[in-house]
Amino acid sequence: MSVVFERKGDTLVALLSGEIDHHTAAEFRDSIDREAEMLHPSVLVLDFGGIGFMDSSGIGLIMGRYRNAAAYGGVIRVINPSPMIERMMKLAGMTRLDVI
């Protein structure tokens, strides 16, 4: 499990790798929140290209970051999800939030 951050102007990209489950979600959340709290990016991009597995904890991770970003006027985007993760996100109704 790891998160690497890249800053591109007002955009913060979090490159995630590993698995997101109930054991790792808190570590991902804490890393992302710590960085976003310092920078308050206009756009927080969660790059799921390195995520091989995600359970429902990943949906909670995304939703929490969505609420946090909205609180300071930012938005989030999820990029590079695997087909399985994208399907899970669509089933959870995330297309209505315009994050994918």
Distance (Å, whole) CA 29 – CA 82 = 20
pTM value is: 0.94
**Which structural domain, as residue segments, surrounds residue 54?**
2-97
Per residue of the chain (100 residues), give pLDDT as tens: 899 999 999 999 999 999 999 999 999 999 999 999 999 999 999 999 999 999 999 999 999 999 999 999 999 999 999 999 999 999 999 888 888 7
- Here the CATH number for the domain that contains residue 70 is 3.30.750.24
Q: Domain count of the chain? A: 1
Distance (Å, whole) CA 99 – CA 78 = 6
Residue 41 has which token pair?
């990016």
Place of tokens 């310092």: 38
Beta partners for 15?
Answer: 4, 47
Residue 21 has which token pair?
């489950």
What are the start-end ranges of the E strands in the chain?
2-8, 11-20, 43-54, 75-79
